[in-house]
Amino acid sequence: MATFVLVHGAGDVGWYWHLTEKELRASGHQTIAPDLPCDNETATLDDYATTVTDAAASRARQDLVLVSQSYGAFTATLAASRLKPRLLVLLAGMIPAPNETPGQWWENTGYRQAAEQQAKLDGGQTGHDDPLITYYNGVPRPLAEEALRRGGRGESSVVYNTPWPLNAWPDVPTRFIACQDDHFFPAPFLKRVAQERLGIVPDELPGCHCAALSHPKELSDLLLSYL
């Protein structure tokens, strides 16, 4: 039995993972999905990572698998350097580089150009102003609206401007998942970044940027296959 520690993305809550948690628990595993203190404007990246490590320690669980979504990769990688989980999984993740802030990540990875190119191919869906198109395409409308209601907690500008403090990638086996229908981080863009920064070929999953809501069963099955 593994314990999956699930780290949400920017401005979100642990509830984001609730459908995936249900699938993982049905297979006999444990899950932990803490709320990061992102609505605290003075919270630091260390505060974020400590929230994750404390949540894992409070459950006194071993055999940890650390999974993060999107912006949560900055937190999860730092937490992984402390927890030493058996596996680190980034889902549509912002892969950090040493001394890079989340604010610098966009330009450093060529995100804007990649998003604009993809938008030309999909009729402007990538980067659309409507979050139901950009983030929640494929999520049932009531569920997407509930996600919007629960999310939007804001994001600490301290974290956004904090350089990633590690000198190298955590010494933890790492997997990366790109979402095929992601209208925020296009799959071709993430596949390139994962190969450039981690030297790995990502796995691909059907679904949108918020695949834990659009395809929880498929995501759970993929996570379990890594065990």
Taking the CA atoms of the chain, what radius of gyration do you get in angstroms?
16
- pLDDT above 70 (res 185): yes
Q: What are the boundaries of each domain within the chain?
A: 3-225
Per-residue pLDDT at 62: 72
pLDDT of residue 59: 72
Residue 140 has pLDDT above 80, yes or no: yes
Q: Tell me how crowded residue 158 is: count the other CB atoms within 10 A of its CB.
A: 16
Superfamily of domain 3-225: Alpha/Beta hydrolase fold, catalytic domain (3.40.50.1820)
Per-residue model confidence (pLDDT) at position 61 = 67
Residue 20, class by beta-carbon neighbours within 10 Å (0-12 exposed, 13-18 middle, 19+ buried)? Answer: buried
β-strand partners of 85: none
CA–CA gap between residue 74 and residue 164 (Å, rounded): 7
| Position 153 confidence tier, pLDDT thresholds 50, 70, 90 | confident
What's the pLDDT tens digit per position in 57-95?
877 667 999 999 999 999 999 999 999 999 999 999 999
Query: In this structure, is the dihedral angle defined by the CA atoms of residues 160, 164, 169 and 173, taken in order, positive or negative?
Result: negative
